[in-house]
């Protein structure tokens, strides 16, 4: 696990090679194995591999979602907000787990935050995605994770560059 954490980087460039169906199945399994508070499992996932939908999802917010256009796969991480008051945390856990699973399978990924982001001056990213994907009103959108075969190589962050000053022991001060 530590080697995966050391290698994990946000990959925003992908090759055109599709993600194999059996690999998508493993990613879905990883999502469904995510822990959740009180075992409520409020998360819902929309797996997207349709090129036109990926292109439309890449325009979900004003900045930071364009990379989805060239990803062969995206997972829209949503939740039924009526099931749990901590759906944000549960969705975040599922999203990072699928990113780590993707890395373990030789894929790259990047998270695009959607919750509390604007699509344009008149609507939120969530409203845009809800309409695009036909999500019911009680389903909220946390993020989109773009996944694919890496089209870029990024160096790992050396241990001496980590922010160890943000770690306190026993007490904050």
Task: Encode pLDDT of 128-139 as tens digits.
Answer: 999 999 999 999
Helix, strand, coil % over all residues of the chain, rounded to 5: 40, 20, 40
pTM of the model: 0.95
The list of the chain residues with pLDDT below 50 reads: none
The domain limits of the chain are 2-150
DSSP string of 77-98?
EEEETTT-TTHHHHHHHHHHHH
**Cα dihedral 6→143→77→150 (10° resolution):** -40
**What sign for the dihedral angle of Cα 60, 13, 47, 35?**
negative
pLDDT, tens only, 146-172: 999 999 999 999 999 999 999 999 999
The pLDDT assigned to 83 comes to 96
Tokens representing 94?
């599922």
Q: DSSP label at 39?
A: G
The pLDDT assigned to 7 comes to 92
The pLDDT assigned to 69 comes to 97
Q: DSSP label at 134?
A: T
CA dist 47 and 50 (Å) reads 9
Instruction: Provide CATH code, domain 2-150.
Output: 3.40.109.10
CA dist 64 and 167 (Å) reads 29
The pLDDT assigned to 64 comes to 96
CA dist 148 and 34 (Å) reads 21
Q: What H or E segment, with its residue span, contains residue 79?
A: strand 73-80
CA dist 11 and 96 (Å) reads 14
Q: Which residues contact 101 (CB under 8 A, 6 or more apart)?
A: 26, 27, 30
**Three-class SS of residue 141?**
strand
The pLDDT assigned to 3 comes to 92
Tokens representing 157?
């962050």
């Amino acid at each position: 696990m530590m080697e995966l954490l050391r290698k994990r980087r946000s990959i925003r460039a992908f090759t055109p090679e599709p993600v194999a169906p059996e690999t998508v199945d493993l990613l879905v399994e990883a999502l469904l194995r995510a822990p959740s508070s009180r075992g409520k499992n409020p998360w819902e996932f929309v797996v997207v591999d349709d090129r036109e939908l990926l292109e439309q999802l890449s325009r979900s917010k004003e900045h930071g979602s364009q990379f989805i256009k060239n990803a062969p796969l995206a997972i829209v991480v949503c939740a039924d907000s009526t099931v749990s008051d901590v759906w944000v945390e549960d969705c975040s856990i599922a999203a990072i787990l699928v990113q780590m699973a993707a890395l373990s399978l030789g894929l790259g990924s990047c998270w695009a935050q959607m919750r509390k982001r604007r699509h344009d001056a008149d609507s939120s990213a969530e409203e845009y995605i809800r309409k695009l994907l036909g999500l019911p009103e009680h389903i909220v959108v946390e993020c989109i994770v773009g996944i694919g075969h890496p089209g870029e190589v990024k160096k790992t962050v050396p241990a001496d560059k980590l922010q160890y000053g943000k770690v306190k022991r026993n007490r904050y001060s």
